[in-house]
């Protein structure tokens, strides 16, 4: 894919996302299990206006899924190190709450958690806010925006099997790959997000996004 073509699509998509009525914040979570059975070990968030948030998190549960834990251990999120060095969940979620709330106030828009397979990430984030004492006060609300679902709009026949990153149009897949560092992955994901918005065009994207 010629670099100029990809850049044009990304630039168009970024403009579409920036002009949306909501503030779509790309989020990535690394966790050693699912929400309620494991710990969120790191979180990264990237706003379309350039602000970012990142933190590792001290494990807060003895539960885990063996495959998830092994994956996290292999990507720098070793449990014993995090127990020694990472901040408590409540500290991280307080910081994320302040960061998100300030962005909402600055831009005058509702913040929407955006992720690729958003159910996984949102569930960890929502439970994290609850555990930190923000009962019914998740600044992202209860409805995340799922880019994997949005990808069905690109393949023309609602084929869920073609929503994997490897099946996306080459024009919107950035160089490189996910690193499984939460902020780097949120930033990489945002490029895919912009690419989707660019390919779909303003009217189609906003029609979908306004239903969130």
- The CATH number of the domain holding residue 186 is 3.30.420.10
Residue 24 has φ and ψ, to the nearest 5°, of: -85, 110
3-class state of residue 75 by DSSP: coil
In the chain, the number of structural domains is 1
Specify the DSSP class assigned to residue 87: P
Question: Given the DSSP bridges, would you call strands 23-31 and 52-56 parallel, antiparallel or unpaired?
Answer: unpaired
Range of the domain at 25: 3-209
Rounded to whole angstroms, the Cα distance separating 90 from 98 reads: 12
Sequence-ordered list of residues with C-beta below 8 angstroms from that of 87, at least 6 positions apart, any chain: 55, 56, 57, 58
Instruction: Look at the block and give the residue holding tokens 């994901």.
Output: 189
Residue with tokens 């699912």: 34
What pTM, to 2 d.p., does this model score? 0.91
**Structure token digits, residue 205:** 């994207």
Cβ atoms of 98 and 70 within 8 Å: the answer is no
Q: What is the pLDDT of residues 40-99, one digit of tens each?
A: 999 999 999 999 999 999 999 999 999 999 999 999 999 999 999 999 999 999 999 999
Surface-to-core class of residue 91, CB atoms within 10 Å of its CB (0-12 exposed, 13-18 middle, 19+ buried)? middle
pLDDT digits (tens, 9 = 90+) for 145-176: 999 999 998 877 888 988 988 889 888 888 88
pLDDT over threshold 60, residue 212 = no
Tell me what pLDDT residue 13 has: 94
Report the C-alpha gap between 134 and 132 in whole angstroms. Answer: 6
- DSSP three-state, residue 111: strand
């Amino acid at each position: 894919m010629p670099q100029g073509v990809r850049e044009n699509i990304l630039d168009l998509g970024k403009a579409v996302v920036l002009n949306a009525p909501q503030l779509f914040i790309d989020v990535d979570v690394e966790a050693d299990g699912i929400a309620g059975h494991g710990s969120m070990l790191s979180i990264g968030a990237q706003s379309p206006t350039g602000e970012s948030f990142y933190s590792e998190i001290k494990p807060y549960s003895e539960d885990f899924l063996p495959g998830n834990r092994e994956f996290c251990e292999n990507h720098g999120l070793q449990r014993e190190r995090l127990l020694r060095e990472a901040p408590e969940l409540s500290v991280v979620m307080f910081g994320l709450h302040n960061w998100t709330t300030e962005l909402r106030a600055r831009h005058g828009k509702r913040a929407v958690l955006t992720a690729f397979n958003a159910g996984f990430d949102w569930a960890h984030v929502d439970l994290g806010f609850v555990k930190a004492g923000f009962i019914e006060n998740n600044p992202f609300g209860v409805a995340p925006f799922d880019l994997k679902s949005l990808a069905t709009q690109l393949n023309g026949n609602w084929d869920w099997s073609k929503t994997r990153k490897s099946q996306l149009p080459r024009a919107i897949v950035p160089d490189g790959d996910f690193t499984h560092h939460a902020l780097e992955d949120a930033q990489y994901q945002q490029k895919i997000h912009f690419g989707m918005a660019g390919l779909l065009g303003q009217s189609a994207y906003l029609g979908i996004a306004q239903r969130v």
